[in-house]
Amino acid sequence: MKIEVMVHDITDLDEPIDCIVNAANETLLGGGGVDGAIHRAAGPELLEECRKLGGCRPGEAKATKAYRLKQNHIIHTVGPIYKLCKEIAPEILRRCYQNSLELADQLGCKVIAFPSIATGIYGYPVEEAAEICAKTVASYQSKSLEMAYLCVLPHETRNLEVYKRAFAKYVSK
């Protein structure tokens, strides 16, 4: 699987992408940051579908339609709140990426785009999160996925080099 790290708003990607990953909260009913942006861009139908899912536990992943977005699916995953669970946070974050990749495979997706999960309001240190993301995504043996994007928000460009360095360790040239 090819991997690219880029600065981009995940809700406005021009590349042909089958699914985007939402860094959601446990209710799946929208919130701030990436979660709120995805809910606003997808429209009210997303909220209606998410209400039927019964929430999502940290580390799990659930899929919905993408509605008004260009993609076919949104995979919602809940990262760890770092200060509340530092000891188990790495495993929860690893499972966010792993379970999202597995669900994308089950859906037959060829291209997936991730945000930087849990590094915003959930307070996960970017350097540690980038390492977990890179190691998990780069080592994933996919059935259908051919490409993965890691999208760093335009106002967080300092994180771009952090993720690029992390992926450089695990992605063979």
Q: What was the pLDDT predicted at 76?
A: 98
Weakly modelled stretches of the chain, pLDDT under 50: none
**Which residues are within 8 A (CB) of 173 and not within 5 positions of it... i.e. 6 or more apart?**
none
Residue 57 is predicted with a pLDDT of 98
Question: Tell me, what's the pLDDT at 173?
Answer: 56
Give the pLDDT confidence score for residue 172 in this predicted structure.
Answer: 72
Is 9 noted as a catalytic residue in this protein?
A: no
**Of the listed 12, 14, 35, 105, which one is catalytic?**
35
Question: What is the SS3 assignment for 23?
Answer: strand
pLDDT reported for residue 15: 82
Distance CA 134, CA 170 (A): 7
The pLDDT of residue 97 is: 98
Strand partners, 4: 149
What does residue 2 show for φ and ψ, rounded to 5 degrees? Answer: -80, 150
